[in-house]
Structure 1
């Protein structure tokens, strides 16, 4: 593991260590939403409730150009890139991030194969980058990383579900059919609610010989096909 980051970086980029063996099975699911009242709901109330529920989804309605595509949710830190306040001489780019009125340089190195990986998945999926980092860090990073302009949506820390102190990415709130939704994240805690929709990947910091992103391309090509009606059934058997 690398040296621990300064506290300042934790304000913009959480440190989410990956579990060594699967996802924590002892963590309970999120509690159900509170019931406002137990009085009978009229048809007019049902319309209001439905509209409010639709507005709570994290993504807007799917665009016509993505009809028929599955949704691929990608983590950012330690999945696609690694970043640090410490000077990284092999950094691919540097971004300034404002913290408490002061700007700090964040040095970013890209995981091997990330450009090829992003280009290919952008051809196959509606791509969402969903990170527990804050937007003032994630937005400028993605502006530099997404050279092929294939990230169709960006979700940040405020879109996560805070569950027992962990930032969980609740796929049921994304607004896409779960049977067509896949998440790739180095932290099993992030997808604790939907492990059957996850493609695990190891945490990456600097290994120049890492090939995991490139190895995932044929897997994702197969999952994107029309013969896969429910990704969770395939992933449960394959992984």
Structure 2
């Protein structure tokens, strides 16, 4: 900690007592919620939070268990609180372009707080998978102890890595395991990617369709079409770029209105 001060020092000191993922997320929540006297302090808090979350997300800062037991809905709720705090900043009068840029770097590193993840018992599919009768007992036990129990006790980015490794293993030799089991595990992996905000743009957009009303679906469809046109167009086509940005702004506006409730 030599040479550190301000928000960076608070983050480093706070991390010493924040072993698991939800504690680290809560540390960020406290940092971005703390009242500041000037714009530079707010920007410093955002920058430190963005870097910290990115290092956790990429595994450069590891998470470990502390003996507690908190389901993933704990993480989702903290993520919602962080999101609300930084959105307040985003719409504050006089916000700087630097603040906006850093806020947008924070969003992808937060877990999802969709209703299925804030439910009392989220991500239950893995429990059903671990109790199937069409897979070897040893595999059932491994899934139960290394993924199911760990995820529901102290979720962290490492669980996505473990799940991806398991998926690679059970799909390596087609036909080795029951097709229905493999399909359910693939679905669970997609759900977990959604929770960890690790899906592609279109995967994430697809996952929110059911929660949108007619105007939301229209805005979503418009953005998807313009984004696909942009992907296929010449990068120098400014008209396509502007149309995509406009449709994105419209979609964002619809989504933000949905969060107000």
Say whether the fold is shared (TM-score over 0.5). Answer: no
Q: When you count strand as a share of all residues, which structure comes out higher?
A: 1
| Bigger fraction of residues in helix | 2
TM-score, structure 1 normalization: 0.27
TM normalised by structure 2 equals: 0.26
Higher relative contact order at CA 8 Å, sep ≥6: structure 1 or structure 2?
1
Q: Which has the larger radius of gyration?
A: 2
